[in-house]
Structure 1
């Protein structure tokens, strides 16, 4: 059911995600130590998301031209070089203190990283049998959450003990190893590579199944070479023309609009104003949240055979269960009970997320899937930024409790979007046509 390349992809991406957490903590700590300014420190994640957004917009051009494993390798090689340069700049030998070079390198690293998520998510269904797809997504989601759960705590200890420079050296080494592992991935949908330099796609024409991008989704047409504009908009057209993809993307965007309520600043306000506890409880809630997400991923993997038969229902159940628990969280002021509530949100969150990803992967031709994920990630990154602004305003004007209640209502709305479009989920997926 799982090809060898899937395990290589899974392991290399887990290592890459671990390195990401390490470098974010190291650089945020460095900037905060140098400036003492929270604004300058928050520029690190802001510039990262901004660069990934730009990268996502042009990713289809790269996807149309190059094999997905090569794009991953290229991204990780570039990040390896950039992290090495950053480590040298911050080393005791040079002792760089200017922030402009640091910010510039962060943007370049994040731009390269913008290809990684759509490439990974599109490779998974190529490397596993269809009946094992949900299990594979659950395994990937579980390790992602474990990295987030353990990574932030461990990286904070490492940075405090050794400083940013040694941590960045370790990050560069991790990316070097990740790059080496990625070269071992073989995409079974592409012709076998004739040499290490055989990196272009088998068709190199930017089309999914030979269909012209301006035609209705799934139709076959002429083989005319597409323009760059055609290639850039192909994933967007697929999102719009497929009722199922359109519904899933709208659900994702709606859900993402309320997803920022678990950001650290909002939780800290809730802990201090509602629970009347100190900052240590902020850490406890974060730990409980990630522990619940890990538990949720493990449950999805364990129950995958039952969930497969009711994938659409499982997705709606996950979203509604999350909404109910968010309301309970908002209305509760008992600190120990809060930890239990947050722990319970994990399984419902993972159930909804893994189900949605699996449905997307089964709803489009495997050749077009990377461009679809690229378009969707661009939308979700944009909504994520808007969500922070929206939720900040609601918390400021209406209070932190009403902000969480509003987020719960948004999740119910997202589930409602799915229910109203339920007919599109009864059709046979294009992946099986």
Structure 2
């Protein structure tokens, strides 16, 4: 079923994701306290996403040259080292006040983090049997949501109780522990490592050619070309992209406007809805894991059901004005969201070979980060011109469109499952 390295990967990524949540809250609080400026504070998540975007562009070069476990180790070590510098700079003993070094370190940390997701998603099918791949994706998705759900609440309490600096030290420790864990991950598709420093891919470490002397440009575009040429991958990527476009409506600012203008409630209800949203996502992950044997036999219909259910509940959310019912709607949205997301990720992992998969995930991650940033601006315009209710209805229509694309290409999905 699951190889030992899968559990190591699972644990290290849980630690890393916990550190990400802690550092975003702690650093945003620190910048806000030092500058008393919302603009400077919002630069923290903006620089993070932008840096990850550029990192995703060059990730194929690193993937082509180095083993995936080494890339994870390198990413975690770099983040650990940079966080050590950051914690030292803002410490009471050094007392750094300038924001430029802080922003520079954020860019460096986020750049290294941009390699993590494609490497992790590509390693999962290598470290599990195919018959339990969907279960593995469900377990990791559930853990991700638990970290998000608990992390934002706990990190706020920690920062309020101890201050930003001690929390940043805790983040550095989490990254250090995650880095040490990744050293023990073994990729079974690669030749056994001869030493800890055997870090290059099999073709390089064995003295092979440089992938047919392919140019760097060819390496950079391989994942993009594969996404475009495969009808199945193209459809899945379109569905992920539209999901990201519509999913941006759950960003905090939009929800706050909906709570204030439609539900006529204060910021407390904003927090309740956020908590209900993450609780629903956790519930969804648990449902997927519990029903994985049944879902495996109907993975394509499960994916469409998830997208259609998400669209229906998003529309219901938009049209509802009763606050307590809103919490239930958002909670029930979670299982459909996770069902669609886990099904799509599993289908992608089964639709391309192990060697090409990390490059495909890297290209897709870059595309989705770009779309998410643009969608925030686009949905802001929709909300401004047509109202917040129509924005959520528009998001529901987008999800219906994505499900329609999947149905139009259903033959390619059936072939994919049978081929496996």
1:118 aligns with 2:113: no
Identify the residue that residue 217 of structure 1 maps to in structure 2. Answer: none
The answer (yes or no) to whether the contact 1:332–1:338 under 8 Å persists in 2 is yes
Question: 1:75 maps to what in 2?
Answer: 75
Q: Which one of 300, 314, 320 corresponds to residue 332 of structure 1?
A: 320
After superposition, the C-alpha distances for 1:72-128 in whole angstroms (9 at most, x for unaligned) are 000000000000000000000011111110000000000000000000000000000
Equivalence for 1:48:
48
Pick aligned residue for 1:354 from 319, 342, 345: 342
Aligned partner (choices 359, 379, 382) of residue 370 of structure 2: 382
For each residue in 1:250-291, what CA deviation from the matched residue of structure 2 results, as whole angstroms up to 9, or x when unmatched? 111112111110000100111111111111000000000000
| Aligned positions of 1:397-408 closer than 5 A | 397-408=385-396
Unmatched runs of 5 consecutive residues or more in structure 2: none
Give yes or no for the alignment of 1:312 onto 2:307: no
Name the SS for the 1:360 alignment partner: helix
Question: Aligned to 1:428, what secondary structure does the other structure show?
Answer: helix
Task: Give the Å deviation of 1:428.
Answer: 3.4
Contact 1:271–1:278 (Cα < 8 Å) also in 2:
yes
Q: Distance in 2 between matches of 1:64 and 1:233?
A: 12
- SS, match of residue 158 in structure 2: helix
Distance apart, 1:327 and its partner CA: 0.6
Please name the residue that 2:163 is paired with.
Answer: 163
Distance 1:405 1:241 in 2: 32
Q: CA deviation at 1:32?
A: 1.0
Aligned 8 A contact 2:72 2:119 in 1? yes
Distance 2:231 2:265 in 1: 47
- 1:383-414 Cα deviation digits (max 9, x unpaired): 00111001100111111100100000000011
Structure 1 contact 267–282 (Cα < 8 Å) conserved: yes
Q: Is the 8 A contact 1:258 1:411 kept in 2?
A: yes
| SS of residue in 1 equivalent to 2:415 | coil
Residue of structure 1 in register with 2:412 after alignment: 424
Alpha-carbon contact 1:364-1:429 (below 8 Å) kept: no
Matched positions, count? 417
Q: 2:330 aligned with 1:342, yes or no?
A: yes
Q: What is the Cα deviation at residue 204 of structure 1?
A: 3.3
Runs of 4+ in 1 over 6 A off after TM superposition: none
Shift in Å, 1:237: 1.0
Q: Secondary structure at the match of 1:269?
A: helix
Instruction: Name the CA distance, whole Å, in 1 between partners of 2:178 and 2:38.
Output: 32
- Helix, strand or coil: the match of 1:203? helix
- Quote how far apart the aligned CAs of 1:224 are: 2.5
2:275 corresponds to which residue? Answer: 287
1:296 to 284, 290, 293: 284
TM-score by length of 2: 0.98
> What residue number does 1:219 align with?
none
Higher percent of residues as helix = 2
2:44 and 2:357 map into 1 onto residues whose CA distance is 30
Post-superposition CA distance 1:199-252 (Å, at most 9, x none) = 0000139xxxx9x9xxxxxxxxxx622111111111111101111111100111
Distance of 1:5 and 1:105 partners within structure 2: 31
Counterpart mapping for 1:5-404 below 5 A:
5-204=5-204, 224-404=212-392
Taking only aligned residues, the RMSD between alpha carbons, in angstroms, comes to: 1.3
Shift in Å, 1:39: 1.3
- Cα distance in 1 between the residues matched to 2:226 and 2:418: 12
Q: Distance in 2 between matches of 1:309 and 1:394?
A: 39
Give 5+ residue unaligned stretches, structure 1.
213-222
What is the distance in 1 between the residues matched to 2:310 and 2:327?
15
Is the 1:235–1:371 contact (alpha carbons within 8 Å) kept by the matching residues of 2? Answer: yes
C-alpha distance after superposition, 1:143-198 (max 9, x if no partner): 00000000000000101111111111110011111110000000000000001100
Whole-angstrom CA distance in 1 between matches of 2:221 and 2:204: 16
